[in-house]
Amino acid sequence: MTAKIVVVGSFNADLVAYLERMPRPGETVHGDRFATSAGGKGSNQAVAAARLGAEVTFIGRVGKDVFANLAYEIWDAEGINRDFVSTDADYATGVAPILVDSSGENMIVVVLGANSRLTAADIDAARERIAAADVLVTQLEINLDMAQYALETAKQLGVVTILNPAPAAAIPQSLIDLADYLTPNETELETLAGLAGDFAAAARSLLTRDGQTAVVTLGAQGAQIVSGAASAIVPTYAVDVVDTTGAGDAFNAGLAVALAEGKALEEAVRFANAAAALSVTKPGAAPSAPCRAEVDALYEGAR
């Protein structure tokens, strides 16, 4: 069965500088190299899901500029449906200057631009496509009203919803309530719950209805599933880290695809961990998203 995924989210042109170490405030350091690539959490997740074999539709907004061409090129190359991508005449395509140090850690500045101008009409135009989907995924790099509207639309149509609350931001509980699966990392969870240390307790404080699950990504430790009274950590895979940019996006794509294909939750998280682990072995965000054969090999080989 081919997974059908709708991603409502952002596209940003990633402007990546690789350097030995991060600069201190007011300091100028020399970089080793520079690259421009397609990014944005929404687009990254769409690309990663497509590479995992899903039929993917992207709903979003870009500007009338050269950076929009990066979006069209990668979506077309990956076979992603972009019929519901709008062009904004007044706002530029989103950009994300990124610094990556020699250990693979990163610092990112996101300028949302056209991403913040997504409208209900953009989402309504894709209503039939959403209804036919197995899973709808959204994040916080679009305006929050539209993230909520996308999730509301999916719930009305009986579609499973994933909310990746990234980048970290305080959001209304009404938005969280619409997520069947909430997928924060440690920082995002602390921002949402106001609690540090006990990930299970923090995640559980955000869940308000039966059938709702938090999957907290813990980097090298894997991911923690929190649902009702239950909690379980699913370990990840040992790999050589090159660049952690995009790991969370690969994880969310892997989770969406695995759930759409009918995998049980713990197995879906193992599959998502495999996708994320492989993504950090290569530089970049969308460029590092692994193909299905790679993920299957790691996932099946470790079982």
Q: Which of the residues 14, 122, 243, 249 is marked catalytic?
A: 249
- Give tens-digit pLDDT for 177-226: 999 999 999 999 999 998 777 899 999 999 999 889 999 999 999 999 99
Average pLDDT over residues 1-21: 95
Domains and CATH numbers, the chain: 4-21+33-301 (3.40.1190.20)
Phi/psi at 58 (5° precision)? -110, 135
What are the helix (H) ranges across 194-262?
Answer: 199-204, 247-260
What are the helix (H) ranges across 125-232?
Answer: 127-131, 144-156, 173-176, 186-193, 199-204
- Give tens-digit pLDDT for 157-190: 999 999 999 999 999 999 999 999 999 999 999 9
Q: Is residue 50's pLDDT more than 80?
A: yes
Q: Is 249 a catalytic residue?
A: yes
Q: Which two tokens stand for residue 47?
A: 């690309």
- Give tens-digit pLDDT for 76-125: 999 999 999 999 999 999 998 989 899 988 888 889 999 999 999 999 99
Q: Which two tokens stand for residue 244?
A: 């952690």
User: Taking the model in full, what pTM does it have?
Assistant: 0.92
Contacts of 25 (CB under 8 A, 6+ apart): none
pLDDT, position 172: 95
